[in-house]
Amino acid sequence: MEEYGKILIIAMPLFAVLIIIEKLYGIYKGEDNVPVMDAVSSISSGITNAVKDVLGLSITFISFEFKVSKPEITNS
């Protein structure tokens, strides 16, 4: 897992730099077709997944059906 974190430290900034280069090249050529929100979404998703994996965190979503079927857990 330590190697994974080290690789991500290099890969994430490199990915961001490549997106910026692509955006600048598109502006230069007059064919800017990289949506900014798509790039921001991709980078933030990648950072979130990397942090989750490196720290070993997880998020659990409890569905409404589960809460209804187990009222003794939720009605304390």
Q: Is the pLDDT of residue 23 over 80?
A: yes
pTM assigned to the model: 0.57
What is the overall mean pLDDT for the chain? 79
Q: Is the pLDDT of residue 29 over 60?
A: yes
pLDDT grade, residue 28 (50/70/90)? Answer: very high
Alpha-helical runs (H) found in the chain:
2-29, 36-55, 64-69, 71-74
| Tokens matching residue 13 | 């900034």
Q: What is the mean pLDDT of residues 36-59?
A: 79
The amino acid at 51:
V
